[in-house]
Amino acid sequence: MQQTPPPQSTTRRQILAGAAGAAGIAAATALPSGTAHAATAADDARTRRAARALLGRMSLKEKIGQLFVVEVYGKSADSAHDKNKELYGVSTPAEVVAKYRPGGVIYFDARRGPDNLQQPRQIAGLSNGLQRAALRTGARIPLLVSIDQEGGSVVYRMLEPATQLPGNMALAAARSRGDVRRSSEIIGTELAAMGINQNYAPVADVNINPDNPIIGVRSFGSDPALCSDLVAASVRGYHRGEVSSAAKHFPGHGDTDVDSHTGLPVIKHTREELEKIDLPPFRAAIARGVDTIMTAHIVVPSLDSSGVPATMSKPIVTGLLREELGFRGLIVTDALDMGGATEDFPPDVAPVRALKAGCDQLVLAPKADTAHAAVLKAVESGDVPEDRVDASVLRILEHKLRGGLFPRPYVDEDRAARVVGSRRHIADAARITDRTVTLVRNEGGTLPLSPGARTVLVTGWDTDRVGILARTVGERSGQEATALATGATPGATQIEDAVTAAGDHDVTVVLTNAAASAKDKGAAQADLVKALVKTGKPVVAVAVRNAYDIRRFPGVPACLATFSYGKPSLDSVVRALYGDVNPSGKLPVSIPALDEDEGTLYEFGHGLSY
């Protein structure tokens, strides 16, 4: 049965009950909707007073609870799930909130396991149920409800009917601050409608390493000035959408060949290089009023010679970010269950070290009971002064007050269904996506396809994407398309089958994904493309993730880069293939030759058109 949020008068009574005066101050001083990012000095003073009043009513355990951001399993607040029992000793998401009184929860889809995200009305109901649980417990503090919805096809949680937007590098190819701003606004508006009030985006890393396995197209590119400009535009867009933004991953994760989910990268930049490359986008985000900055599990010896990850480093978190850059908002950790954090910091150590470093919120700390007990013990023993905890909790409370969460913790579930994936959002997304397609190579006028190219073979990476592209081509009048997926690592048999099929078609479109960054997989995909080129038939490679793929097959007649393999990007590719859209994207990165001694294949800013 659908849960309907209580009316505002009931909500206010819930806030006031058991917290005489303090939460009332919070409700009375919250800024009106839409003004949280344009507060005056008087607003700030009122917010600080309200936060201090709330803090004064909280027990130490309640304060510690506010530091943690947890995941919960299930589609509704009251649905039992075995994984909640395994992790937390209670059955339902509402019981998790009641037990730990966390400052926030984070949503995931079924790929990770929590399966929180099915459809807009359900998500809004889950958010309302969790807020109701928080407001019935202890100090009655509403929750920050977070998600990683960066856009693109690498880090995203919301599938359709949510509007699918291009990722950062795709947007950077269009070189439009307006498109970036509008894209973030659409994402923010849809998230806010579902009760998700904090998005861990945008990525502010400057990706200067073509072999970066974790950032890549999540970045706006390799140019610090471009990244800074577009990070600021993205922050502004999220604020327009009335959702909190989070620049990540401080102090910069763009020059690594190690994935911090599984290992601990070392960034060898000098302080001068950090100032020129990595820090400008974070400075731009701070200047634009970013709400949150997320730390990275990376070692940066030039900033801290101790060898600890930035998340655990007081010189980086407090010294650089808080004091030197002057950031006043929330500092959150990247997930503490990632390999970059767990490798040297067990569950009873990581949250304490991150707190001592200066982090305010501890995201996905493993073994919740152990983590909470460790922080409590550290405070009670004096290892962590209670005023250190108070400083973080005050920032968390002020953030929630500025966002208007106290008087408005609930959302309209019917409205969520209307807002998410609206026609206007989808139309805007299509126009934005069309401007991201980048034509990297076009020898002999291969593109746009001639009217005589009536039979098209679509082959290469991923059965689903090959099928989507082939169906979209086949829907055009007079076109016939055949789908023949070869997989991410095609073998001799798959390549032979594709070559045979290519001989029976006028043109071949071959999808590649991360062909440049994965040695065995990349070599296999390159072998496929080269074999297709040898047929003498026109071949168009479509790099659906990294534009770097052409390093493996520089002689392909034509190559389009989409930086994304979502359906909107594939639709835009088809429009570009036939000249309905004249590709206008410009590379946000330079593409070096596979043999670095041979120099650069394509410079930053390169892009052809018809």
**Residues marked as catalytic:** 261, 334
3-state DSSP call for residue 542?
strand
Q: What is the DSSP string of 405-455?
A: TTT-----HHHHHHHTT-HHHHHHHHHHHHTT-EEEEEGGG--SPPTT--E
3-state DSSP call for residue 438?
strand
Six-digit token string for 443: 């020898």
For residue 463, how many other CB atoms are within 10 A of its CB?
A: 12
Which residues pair with residue 480 across a beta bridge? 455
Helix 386-402 to helix 368-381 angle (10° resolution) is 120
Question: Peptide bond before 249: cis, by omega within 30 degrees of 0?
Answer: yes
Question: How far out from the chain centre does Cα 125 lie?
Answer: 23
C-beta separation of 359 from 311 below 8 A: yes
Output DSSP code: residue 203: B
Among candidate residues 297, 227, 223, the one with its CA nearest the CA of residue 259: 297
Six-digit token string for 293: 């900055």
Q: Dihedral (C-alpha) 532, 534, 539, 544: value to the nearest 10 degrees?
A: 50
Classify each residue of 500-524 as buried b or exposed e, where b means 16 or more C-beta atoms within 10 Å of its C-beta: ebbeebbbbbbbbbbbbbbeebbeb
Question: Peptide bond before 6: cis, by omega within 30 degrees of 0?
Answer: no
C-beta separation of 550 from 559 below 8 A: yes
The strand pair at 591-592 and 600-602 is best described as antiparallel
